[in-house]
């Protein structure tokens, strides 16, 4: 019995080390922290280039974007994956317009301009340039089911309201980990663009 426990412990340790190596092998987009208040972090991001799809289904969106960076583009080049994966929120709007679709985006590696990015072979993938901007972020762990994202988004918006911070646009979700990463190790953030 003791041998089995030792082997199980060793295997768990090896898996944890392998997981940490995988997580740290994905580059993270650069940003500058400009302030913190009550768990909210304020950041400045440089201009970014995104590969984006409209998708109500995370798996379908992820698969399209992963295919794009894996070579489903005009020069058939592989593109390094970066974190986070950005998902827009599906927020109901006043009648008669209702937003029932979301977007998912991969951030292309730093230094790639819109003009330099490979054209997708699938017309559902668009390349979008986002200018530099300031955002407010609230971090949380777990698998980010819709109810948790909604709760954290409400906390973020309420905190910004209490701080008299002006927001612009819609909230979005940033996920940093591979799909198979255990929930307690996951890094998720809800964010919104702000004016400071």
- The CATH number assigned to the domain holding 177 equals 3.20.80.10
Asked if residue 17 belongs to a domain, the reply is no
Residue whose structure tokens are 């409209």: 54
Give the pLDDT mean for 85-106. 62
Q: What is the pLDDT of residue 31?
A: 95
Asked if residue 100 belongs to a domain, the reply is yes
Cβ atoms of residues 193 and 134 within 8 Å: yes
Asked if residue 130 belongs to a domain, the reply is yes
Asked if residue 23 belongs to a domain, the reply is no
Range of the domain at 41: 28-195
Least confident interval from 6-10, 38-42, 125-129, 175-179? 6-10
What's the total number of domains in the chain? 1
CA 184 to chain centre: 17
Sign of the four-CA dihedral 107, 109, 128, 168: positive
Mean pLDDT of the residues in the chain: 85
Asked if residue 13 belongs to a domain, the reply is no
The string of pLDDT tens digits covering residues 157-188 is 999 999 999 999 999 999 998 878 899 999 99
Asked if residue 112 belongs to a domain, the reply is yes
Asked if residue 123 belongs to a domain, the reply is yes
Q: What is the pLDDT of residue 187?
A: 94
Q: What is the pLDDT of residue 14?
A: 53
Specify the higher pLDDT residue, 105 or 4: 105
CA 189 to chain centre: 8
pLDDT at 100 over 80: no
Q: Spell 121-150 as b/e; 16+ CB within 10 A means b.
A: eeeebebeebeebbbbbbebeeebeeebbe
9 pLDDT band, cuts 50/70/90, is low
pLDDT at 101 over 80: no
Query: What is the 3-class SS of the chain, one letter each residue?
Result: CHHHHHHHHHHHHHHHHHHHHHHHCCEECCCEEEEEECCEEEEEECCEEEEEEECCCHHHHHHHHHHHHCCCECCCCCCCCEECEEEECCCCCCCCCCCCCCEEEEECCCCCCCCCCCCECCCCCEEEEECCEEEEEEEECCCCCHHHHHHHHHHHHHHHHHCCCEEEEEEEEEECCCCCCCHHHCCEEEEEEEEC
Specify the higher pLDDT residue, 166 or 93: 166
Q: What is the pLDDT of residue 151?
A: 96
CA 165 to chain centre: 23
Asked if residue 170 belongs to a domain, the reply is yes
pLDDT at 130 over 90: yes
């Amino acid at each position: 019995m003791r041998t089995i426990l030792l082997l199980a412990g060793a295997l768990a340790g090896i898996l944890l080390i392998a997981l940490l190596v995988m997580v740290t092998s994905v580059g993270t987009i650069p940003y500058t922290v400009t302030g913190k208040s009550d768990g909210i972090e304020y950041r400045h991001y440089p201009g970014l280039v995104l590969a984006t799809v409209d998708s109500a289904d995370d798996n379908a969106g992820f698969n399209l974007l992963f295919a794009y960076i894996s070579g489903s583009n005009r020069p058939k080049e592989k593109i390094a994956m970066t974190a986070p994966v950005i998902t827009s929120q599906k927020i109901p709007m006043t009648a008669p317009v209702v937003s029932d679709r979301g977007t998912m985006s991969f951030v292309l590696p730093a230094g790639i301009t819109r003009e330099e990015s490979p054209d997708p072979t699938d017309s559902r993938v668009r390349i979008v340039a986002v200018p530099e901007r300031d955002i407010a972020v609230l971090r949380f762990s777990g698998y980010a089911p819709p109810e948790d994202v909604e709760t954290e988004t409400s906390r973020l918006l309420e905190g910004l309201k209490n701080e008299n911070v002006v927001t612009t646009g819609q909230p979005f979700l940033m996920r940093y980990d591979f799909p198979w990463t255990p929930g307690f190790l996951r890094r998720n953030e809800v964010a919104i663009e702000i004016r400071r």
